[in-house]
Amino acid sequence: MTKYSGYMGKVLMVDLSKSLISEYPWSDEDRELYIGAKAMASKIMFDNFTGKETAFSEDNLIIVSTGPLTGTGAPCSNRFNISTLSPLTGITTSSNCGGNFGYYLKKAGIDALVIRGKCPVPTWIEIKNDKFFFHEAGDLWGMKVSQSQEELQRRMNEARKCRVKCGMLSIGPAGENMVKYAAVISGERAAGRAGVGAVFGSKNLKAMVATGNHEVPVFDPEKTTKLYQKWTETLRKHPLTGNQLPKMGTAGLVSPMQMRGILSTRNYAYGQYEHFDKVSGEVLAEDYNIVNKGCMSCPIKCARTVNVEGQEVKGPELETLGLLGGGIMNDNLELILKWNYELDELGMDTISAASTLAWAMEANEQGLWKNGLSFGKTANISKTFENIAYRRGIGNELAEGSRWLSEKYGGKDFAIQSKGLELAAYEPRRSVGQGLGYAVSNRGGCHLNGGYLVIVENLGLNADPQTPHAKADLCMLMQDLMESVSMTGQCLFTSYAVFPSFLISKPNSVVTKTVNKVIPFLGPVVRILNKFPGIASFHLFLLPHTKAIEYATGMKCNLARFIRAGERSYNVERAVNAKFGVSAAMDTLPKRLTNVPQDPKDPSTKVPLEVMKKVYYEARGWDKNGLPTEEKLRKMKII
């Protein structure tokens, strides 16, 4: 139980080996320190992992967790998190998903599930108002994602003789066959990165369905409703969340990225793709978009539907457009729509699938691995994806990801990954702060866990993208803020509105230009805020998350506590990774990005990683090996 609203007060341990459910101890003090979602999962992993577990061992945990704002009506708040040990990286991973499972988990009266063990046979789990039913899933095993979810809905309806409102998640063939970058899909949305689906497969867990009739309690309903209304208006008026994202989704970033030279092209050899205009957000919106869609409770609605072979299905995000477009030298948008759909149906991360493919094309070209794949040759790619999901032929090796392949065949310098996780589509040699983020990110080459500095350097503001100055401190601040937003159960896009509208909509104004010029000199100021967040013991109008926590839960919150919680979350995640051997030596990027200038005539167009890393560790108060000290962990109340 809990004294705080916003939570259901129940965290449950699910032992798959014995089909047993028990309470997992999670106190109000834990809630104050870790808020919820990803941060709570990291702390649970920290408390339970010894460093001997592996992704596919039975003692690996899968933690499915929600935040306190999930189900309270806050904008973009019905998201949930899945954390586990990743088979792709061997360290922690977390994947945030906008599907409906989190909302219905709370309707079932549960904040989080801590899943361990392994089902003796393929199984799907039904959760109804915190009662658990373990059903055999032998007949679902082998089904693609939408077929299995439709079948589960049919079974739920049939058992109750009515249309049952429920949330579900499931894996596809890729998860069943433990493809190292298999995803978990909830509705149409994916918990995509680093192989969470493969861990489900290793545990014989095909799907989970949650339903219930609990209401999420809200501490001060009147203030909460008013705040949410105002917040929704703010998001709708903001140029990023009210215009760019609803109009074109993340796909709208293709053109600005091309302009700024950060659109990954030909396996990251270049930052611009000559046929970008054929695979851009504009073409997608004009010629293919049927309707804008969004996750539950989202006023932004950045997703869109497209037509693939007569069916209305989810359209691709920027990462998929970039990596399956210029990344493999393909200018056929229709093919990308089709592949995006096929990958979702197979239950596979589009980023890692595309990037592994690009590596394989280059390895073939260089004679390192004769595999028949070539840049621009698109005829057999659908078949290749299927072969990966079913681990047939070369698909069996492609299923291991680019790091594994480059260790086997050579070609590490152009395996575009960090800690085993393939990078997103933002080419960091013209966004060096983003490059730092990719390298130090706790889950490997992730643009979001890395702090998403590309928005400050290129895609929102335009603060000198080649200078390392201030980037380490900004990277830490952005990482911590994004951790905090995640903890609430909200979409990270809500944090876009932290940038004042006029800076985004008037990029050539004197004020915006001055701000861009000043940012690289702000390192010491940001360092003070990072070190002493107590100076920010107030609410910031542009970041209503802190008030939302207070009004919805009754828990004390302000900017200072919010930043501190984010920092704690980042540190505890790093401390889990330390148990699995992570240190500064693993905070790397492939040499293509650190040693080879993107523009051969401009030596500054590469990532000066070592310079920034040193400052970053200092800013974080970590030791020279890039790890939080015992003193640091104590200070943060982690131990």
Task: Determine the Cα–Cα distance for residues 19 and 2; give it in Å rounded to an integer.
Answer: 26
- Which SS3 state, helix, strand or coil, does residue 408 take? helix
Indicate the residue among 96 and 417 with the shorter CB distance to ligand SF4: 96
Nearer to ligand SF4, 302 or 361 (CB): 302
The CB-of-240 to ligand SF4 minimum distance in angstroms stands at 10
The sign of the CA dihedral 418, 420, 424, 425 is: positive
Bridge partners for 417 per DSSP: 422
Instruction: Tell me if residue 208 falls in helix, strand or coil.
Output: strand
Q: Are strands 421-422 and 417-418 parallel, antiparallel or unpaired?
A: antiparallel
Q: Which CB, 273 or 493, lies closer to ligand SF4?
A: 493
Residues that bind ligand SF4 (CB under 6 A): 76, 98, 294-295, 298, 300-303, 491, 493
Shorter beta-carbon distance to ligand SF4: residue 55 or 303: 303
C-alpha to C-alpha distance for 314 and 291, rounded to whole angstroms: 10
Q: How far is the CB of 250 from ligand SF4 (least distance, A)?
A: 8
Question: Minimum distance between the CB of residue 79 and ligand SF4, rounded to whole angstroms?
Answer: 6
The closest of 469, 470, 443 to 576, measured between CA atoms, is: 443
Q: How many other C-beta atoms lie within 10 A of the C-beta of residue 556?
A: 10
- Determine the 3-state secondary structure of 7 from DSSP: coil
Question: Minimum Å distance from CB 622 to ligand SF4?
Answer: 31
Min dist. Cβ of residue 308 to ligand SF4 (A): 20
Measured from the CB atom, the residue of 295 and 565 that comes closer to ligand SF4 is 295
> Rg (Cα) of the chain, in Å, rounded?
23
Residue 555, token pair as written in the block: 């828990």
Smallest separation, CB 181 to ligand SF4 (Å): 20
Asked if 305 contacts 289 with a C-beta cutoff of 8 angstroms, the reply is yes
Q: Which is nearer to ligand SF4, 38 or 568 (CB)?
A: 38
- Whichever of 224 and 241 has its CB closer to ligand SF4, that residue is 241
CA dihedral 194, 195, 199, 205 (to 10 degrees): 130
| In the complex, minimum distance from the CB of residue 493 to ligand SF4, in angstroms, rounded to a whole number | 4
For helices 381-389 and 333-346, angle between their N-to-C axes, nearest 10 degrees = 10
Q: Are 208 and 169 in contact (CB under 8 A)?
A: yes
Q: How far is the CB of 430 from ligand SF4 (least distance, A)?
A: 26
Question: Are 197 and 183 in contact, with CB atoms under 8 Å apart?
Answer: yes
C-beta of 636: minimal distance to ligand SF4 in Å? 29
Residue closer to ligand SF4, measured from CB, 73 or 98: 98
Taking every pair of Cα atoms in the chain, the longest distance, rounded to a whole number of angstroms, is 70
Least distance in angstroms from the C-beta of 548 to ligand SF4: 15
Distances, alpha carbon 413 to alpha carbons 183, 359, 366, 410, 610, in Å: 27, 10, 12, 8, 17
Residue among 249 and 411 whose Cβ is closer to ligand SF4: 249
Q: Least separation, in Å, of the C-beta of 302 and ligand SF4?
A: 3
Q: In what order do the strands lie in the sheet with 167-170?
A: 131-136, 123-128, 205-211, 167-170, 184-186, 189-191
**What are the tokens at 494?**
């809500």
Nearer to ligand SF4, 173 or 460 (CB): 460
CB 482, min distance to ligand SF4, A:
13
Between residues 244 and 418, which has the closer beta carbon with respect to ligand SF4?
244
If the CB atoms of residues 295 and 358 are measured against ligand SF4, the closer one turns out to be 295
Task: DSSP for 424-475, please give it.
Answer: -SB-GGG-HHHHHHHHH-TTSS-TTTTT-THIIIIISS---TT--TTHHHHH
